[in-house]
Amino acid sequence: MPKQTSAARHTSIAGLLAATSLALALSGCASYDVTAPADARADAPAAAVRAKDAQLAAATGAKNGDGKNGDAKGSQGGGRQTTAPGGAGDDVDCRKAKCVALTFDAGPSEHTPRLLDILKKEKVHATFFMLGENHVDKRPAEVKRIDAEGHELANHTWSHQILTDIKPEEAKRELSRVQDAVRKITGKTPRLMRPPQGRTDEEVSKISKDLGLAQVLWSVTAKDYQTNDSALITKRVLEQTERDGIILLHDIYKGTVPAVPGILKELKKRGYTVVTVSQLLSPATAEPGMAYRP
């Protein structure tokens, strides 16, 4: 049975779409689908919602000693333990929790091992949008570690070309090369991608859909490519962060990783649960071709 949309929400969506279409028409830009995390969760298929609720119930039972095996295995498998408050295990529910997704672009780099140490200590998982050339291809050990420690593997193109500025076949190659390289290293194929500079359009969305990739934009940026001042990076992130936000940082700049402990400490103090992008969207699953942005 089709889902019923409230009149107020229908009117709100219609008005937003009309305004967006007008803005795009005036700017001469092609349109593409954008969904907010909260809307993705609200529109999740009923079967996915039931599965999520069952998973949460099993995790709660395991923590209370009521599980059949005393251990709840999450969707990633392996019986991963529930994380401490402020981090997120497989039992996180962003429908109720005050969640924010933590993401890192353009690595792995020489700074990534220290970042992984910090995330492990703080029991936090993040999404890594990785570059292929001089990163994935030169640092397979870091790619393996990102995966082994429960973080989310994602695609940031092979050589950071602006996908809207190149031919469709070149854009497809920019993405597919990372898919192939990550799969060769980890046996897993990324399901998320972030277009360089957030530049996407209808053609890029089509290519992403063909490759099984959802597009992930952001709501918080420290512009850490402009500064190595860790205190300033921390300040910028905290000033912009709101519930359901997606934080964009880079694990390639020397000022970024030292800022992470302070960012996590303050986010936890403010009641946030730090999650991966897929955890933020759950019980929905990222839809190939769709762009997600708070």
DSSP 8-state symbol, 66: -
Residue matched to tokens 């070309």? 161
Closest CA to 246 of 106, 101, 127: 101
CA angle (288, 41, 150) in 5-degree steps: 70
105 is catalytic: yes
- β-pair type (99-105, 127-130): parallel
Do 206 and 231 touch, CB atoms closer than 8 A?
Answer: no
Please confirm whether the linkage preceding 294 is cis (ω < 30° from 0). no
Residue 87's alpha-carbon distances to 40, 102, 200, in angstroms, are 22, 11, 31
| Cβ atoms of residues 79 and 253 within 8 Å | no
Helix H or strand E segment including 182: helix 168-186
Taking every pair of C-alpha atoms in the chain, what is the biggest distance, in angstroms? 60
Tokens of 200: 């996407």
Amino acid 66 reads: D
Cα–Cα distance between 9 and 7 in angstroms, integer? 6
Is there a catalytic annotation at residue 156? no
Coil, helix or strand for 127? strand
Which position among 90, 91, 105, 224 bears the catalytic label? 105
d(CA 7, CA 108): 46
Q: Which of 181, 190, 188 is nearest to 211 (CA)?
A: 190
Which positions are catalytic?
Answer: 105, 250
